[in-house]
Amino acid sequence: MAQVLKDTFMWVERLQVQYFRNYVELDIHFVGGLNLIYGDNGSGKTSLIEAIEYLSSGRTPRGRSDRELIHWNGENLILHCHFRGSQSDEMRIDLLIERSGKQTVKFNQKQQFQLCDWIGRLKTVSFCQQDLQLVAAEPSLRRRFLNMEINKLHPQYLPTYLQYRRSLAQRNALLKELRMGRASTRLLAQWTQSLLEHGILIIKERRNFISSLAKPALTIHRSLTDERESLQIQYECSCGNNRDMNTNETELRDSFIGALEHRKQDEIRRGTTLVGPHRDDISFLLGLHDSASSNIQWVDLRKFGSQGQHRTAALSAKLGVAELVLQQTGEAPVVLLDDVFSELDQSRRNAILGQLRRFDQLFITTTDRSFVDPQGDIAARVFEVVNGKVHRRN
């Protein structure tokens, strides 16, 4: 992967870490092109990817609490990251998380008070083993995928989403009161309205995201399957309207209101809200090409696809996001692949590496040392991780 500067690049130049996961202290310089990180299980490869991902999204892809990120023996965690993009000069993020949970973030030396003010500055798209389950896993993983990727692309999604979660929590609390006969249904209308307003904004953002993702994901999917298969991704609303991407806002609102009305007694009986973005999902349709008739037969990938087809679709969706970030922001995101190659056969690996040549900086982690040698021509820099220490190997 040659280090030719394109006018659409973004890359991480330097990462300094103190007391993050099993790293006590770390200072590494990365290169444009491929950064290959190998090491035994438990050495700290995922943690390294996690640090970069955290600087991009303000979220830990695994685990629930930011405090889990702090080294067991440390008081505070510190991350400094220098990165560059074609649209901006050198940038840096400085992040401090204290045991109390207090977080201080600076972007270019200026303190940032809200997550949505700094997430997405460092553009990344990451892919880990859990993401290979995107198609087959429970719906919450797919909603998380939507939320994480949209947040990074449009940080204003986050406050709307948080407002939605608050309305939902309040409405659920009220439904529980109603179940016990301790509240009036008049109050419910107020929280239903709030749920509706924020919920509609969330659904619209997600639908836009999915409809913009459809094309790049399809192109990548076709290329990964030698043009033998196609892929459609659709947003599935729990309020109906499924499979109709062109629904306008009035229709969406009517369906949402109608579905809430329809489930009202059920909601009171169960003490929880049964309709809304927190119950929505994504569906994947797999198109099988019949070369004789040139017809495409569409099937529900989750029900009828093999494990390999699920994985290919998941990779196409994620790499499609990377392409989308490039199209919408003019900068190619840093691509982080954590230990996914061991799960794929050689031809699929090569097909994916081919796709990845479009991106300017790439991190691949692996336990497989043999992976290092055959890739000699593209490995720009090789690192070995041993017990929370990173050694440069070329």
Strand order in the sheet with 229-236: 229-236, 281-290, 295-300
Q: Which residues bind Mg ion (CB under 5 A)?
A: 45-46
CB of 47 to ligand ADP, least distance (A): 3
One of 32, 36, 66, 71 touching ligand ADP (CB under 6 A): 71
Shortest CB 36 distance to ligand ADP, Å? 14
Distance of CA 266 to the CA centre of its chain: 33
Would you count residue 21 as binding ligand ADP (CB under 6 A)?
yes
Position 35: which residue type? Answer: N
CB 210 within 8 A of CB 220: no
If the CB atoms of residues 171 and 311 are measured against Mg ion, the closer one turns out to be 311
Q: How many C-beta atoms surround the C-beta of residue 84 within 10 A?
A: 19
Closest C-alpha to 384, from 41, 52, 18, 36 = 36
Site membership for ligand ADP, residue 206 (CB under 6 A): no
Q: Residues with Cβ < 8 Å from 254, sequence gap 6 or more?
A: none
**What does 72 interact with, of Mg ion, ligand ADP, none (CB < 5 to 8 A by kind)?**
ligand ADP
Question: 230-265: b or e for each residue (b if 16 or more CB lie within 10 Å)?
Answer: bbbbbbbbbbbbbeeeebeeeebbebbeebbeebbe
* Binds ligand ADP by CB under 6 A, chosen from 42, 101, 258, 330: 42
Q: Least Å distance between CB 68 and ligand ADP?
A: 6
Strands in 334-338's sheet, in edge-to-edge order, are 124-128, 334-338, 361-366, 33-39, 379-386, 389-392
Distance CA 138, CA 144 (A): 11
Q: How far is the CB of 333 from Mg ion (least distance, A)?
A: 21
Question: Minimal distance in Å, beta carbon 135 to Mg ion?
Answer: 22
Q: Is 43 in the site for ligand ADP (CB under 6 A)?
A: yes
In terms of CB distance, is 45 or 121 closer to ligand ADP?
45
Least Å from the CB of residue 25 to ligand ADP: 13
**The binder of ligand ADP chosen from 4, 7, 41, 291 (CB under 6 A):** 41
Instruction: Note whether 64 binds ligand ADP by CB under 6 A.
Output: no
126 touches ligand ADP by CB under 6 A: no
**Residue ranges in contact with ligand ADP by CB under 6 A:** 21-22, 39, 41-47, 68, 70-72
